[in-house]
Each structure stands twice: as structure tokens, then as C-alpha cells.
Amino acid sequence: MKRINLLFPALLLLAVACKHKPQQPAGNAETTQDSLNSGTYLPITDLIKNDITKVDTYAGAILKKMNTNGKKDSSYIQPAEFHKLASQFLLPELDSASFHNHFTEHSLMDETTEMLNFIYSPKDADGSLRNVMVFLQPSLATDQVKRVYMERSFSSGDTTIEQKLTWKMMDYFYVLTIRQPKNAPAVTSMEKVVWDPQSFAD
């Protein structure tokens, strides 16, 4: 393991993460970095909002797929429903001030996948947002955020709800939800929304 330094533009231009490619250490499979003192966390909400704007502009069709305990269904949806479903990713905990105060940031350069992974962990267990990961593709030109992954855990009445949320830029998002009632079997559902036609069959 070897420490590296990364420099980020002030707002990361919303759709990009940085302008500096991290050095690749010889002989190591991955590089870790503690960037708590970098001063700026990735603007995750802005990145997702920017992708939503692209969907509004370019998507010809939006496909919604559902799988609840093995029962599958799919349908095309209108932009209004897309926005409602996408709002699951625009969490108040991701507000820049709150996020910086309540989460720590580390980064991991995985040479196997050639991805730079930013890992955000909560400082305490009081909130519903448990973990956040941002996967970035380094480049000599402009580094691109490829995917955002989040985990949530919270209660609704006597039901415990766990969610795993994945947003793949310019392609799709999906939410895996496990609902565990107090005195009943768990219900697992997966909701996937796709706007890249090449991924409709996935």
C-alpha cells in the first residue's frame, strides 16, 4: 500500500471527479489513500442530478423492471415516474455539509478493475445511510464517475427495511429492498429502471 495525493476541482464540474490521474505503484495490486484532509468530498447528489438531466434530454424510452420474491414484471414509464423513483438516490444525508460532518472518506485504487473507488463510511450508526461508494474511471483526459453504490437500513413501523442502491451513469439504476416484518417472512424486491436501450435485455 502506498499513499497518493489527489487534487480535485472545486465542484468537479458535476460530471467529472478529478483532473489528476493517481500514480500506479509498481508491484502493488492496489493503492489506498486517506483523503479526509482533501477538503472536498465528491458531490454525489450533483452527479446523480446531472445524469437525471441527461435522461430528460436524451432518453427515448425508459423501462422499469420489477422482481418481487421471484415474480417479474416490466413496463415503460413516463419521465414523471422516473423522477419519483430516482429521488430515492437524492438523500438529505448527501447534502454537502451534512455528508462531510457525518462521513469519513477513503479511496482505493484497484488496478484489477482499473477503477478508483471512493468509500464513505458513517462516523456513527444513528443515520439510515450506512455506506456509500463511488467508482471512478481514471483517464489522462477527463476522469469519469461510472457508478454510485449506497446501503441504507431503517424501520417503518414494525418492519425493518434494508436497501442496496446502485446508479450506473448514463445507463440504469436499481434498488434492492429487503423488508422484514416483525412476525412474518421477509419480502425481497428489486426495482430496476433502464434508459440505455442496449441494457433493456439485461
Is 136 a member of any domain?
no
Residue 67: per-residue pLDDT:
97
Domain, as residue range, for 174: 40-102+150-196
End-to-end CA distance of the chain: 36
Residue pLDDT tens, the chain, 202 long: 333 333 333 333 333 333 333 443 333 333 334 333 445 799 999 999 999 999 999 878 999 999 999 999 999 999 999 999 999 999 999 988 889 999 999 999 988 888 999 999 999 888 899 999 999 998 888 889 999 999 999 999 999 999 999 999 999 999 999 999 999 999 999 999 999 999 999 8
Residue 140: per-residue pLDDT:
82
Is 161 a member of any domain?
yes
Number of domains into which the chain is organized: 1
Is 47 a member of any domain?
yes
Residue 39: per-residue pLDDT:
55
Is 141 a member of any domain?
no
Residue identified by cell 418481487 is 68
**Is residue 133 within 8 Å of residue 116, measured between CB atoms?**
no
Residue 168: per-residue pLDDT:
98
Distances (CA, A) of 192 to 58, 133, 173, 180, 201: 19, 19, 6, 21, 12
**Is residue 179 within 8 Å of residue 169, measured between CB atoms?**
no
SS3 (DSSP) at 66: strand
Is 142 a member of any domain?
no
Predicted structure pTM score: 0.79
Is 201 a member of any domain?
no
To 10 degrees, the CA torsion angle through 111, 22, 119, 146?
-70
Is 68 a member of any domain?
yes
Is 109 a member of any domain?
no
